[in-house]
Amino acid sequence: MRRLALSLSLVSLVAGAAVATAAVKPDAAIRYRQSAYTMIGWNFGPLAQMVKGEAPWDAAAFALRAERIAALAPQLPEGFPAGSDTGAKTEAKAEVWKNADDFKAKMDDFITQAKALAEVAKGGDEAKMKEQFKKTAGTCKSCHDGYRSKG
Ligand code: HEC
């Protein structure tokens, strides 16, 4: 009898887990991606200030922040499941899902450039870091231009 009860509760556990992964609520996805972008922006801002000379150059701090951005970038794509164009307040345009191939290409480009930024920063060469920062910043802008309603 105890055995049966145990196996039944295991069955419901497994079923529960399957449901949880199958249906991501749009609101949750929207909050997830906005949080990831907030963290990326948090780390990107100080890099921009260093590159513009508005903050003292600090190669170690630059490398740490670049590393964080490179780790966050590949976590973004799962924040845009089908159906998450509406729900919580979002600045993502409907084009994200309409032009899914182009959006994915822009996302891949960002991930690649962010990874390159972290790699270059390990070397500590200021000129190269600044150059790669500009390339990475370009990928933010080229996606925001078509896919974000503000900024
Ligand atoms: C592939 C597309 C894409 C790339 C690349 C991209 N963004 Fe965004 N970003 C978006 C979209 C879409 C939103 C709106 C998300 C929403 O509101 O659901 C957004 C929102 C944001 C936000 C606002 C988050 C909030 O609080 O709601 C910040 C900050 C941001 N992005 C910074 C950046 C920075 C910095 C980069 C580059 C280092 C970057 N993004 C690269 C598409 C992109």
The dihedral region occupied by 24, where left means phi > 0, alpha psi between -120 and 50, and beta the remainder, is: beta
Residue pair 114/69 in contact by the 8 Å Cβ criterion: yes
CB of residue 147 inside a 6 A radius of ligand 1: yes
CB of residue 37 inside a 6 A radius of ligand 1: yes
Q: What distance in angstroms lies between residue 145's CA and the mean position of ligand 1's atoms?
A: 10
Q: pLDDT by residue (tens digit) across 98-122? A: 999 999 999 999 999 999 999 999 9
Per-residue confidence (pLDDT) for residue 17, from 0 to 100 = 45
Q: What distance in angstroms lies between residue 23's CA and the mean position of ligand 1's atoms?
A: 23
Q: pLDDT by residue (tens digit) across 74-104? A: 999 999 999 999 989 999 999 999 999 999 9
Q: Is the pLDDT of residue 4 over 70?
A: no
- Give long-range contacts, CB 8 A cutoff, 24+ apart: 65-70: 66/114, 66/117, 66/118, 66/120, 66/121, 66/129, 67/118, 67/121, 68/39, 68/43, 69/40, 69/43, 69/44, 69/114, 69/117, 69/118, 69/136, 70/114, 70/115, 70/117, 70/118
Best residue among 95, 148, 149 to mutate for probing ligand 1's pocket (most ligand atoms within 8 Å of CB) is 148
Distance CA 148, CA 151 (A): 7
CB of residue 90 inside a 6 A radius of ligand 1: yes
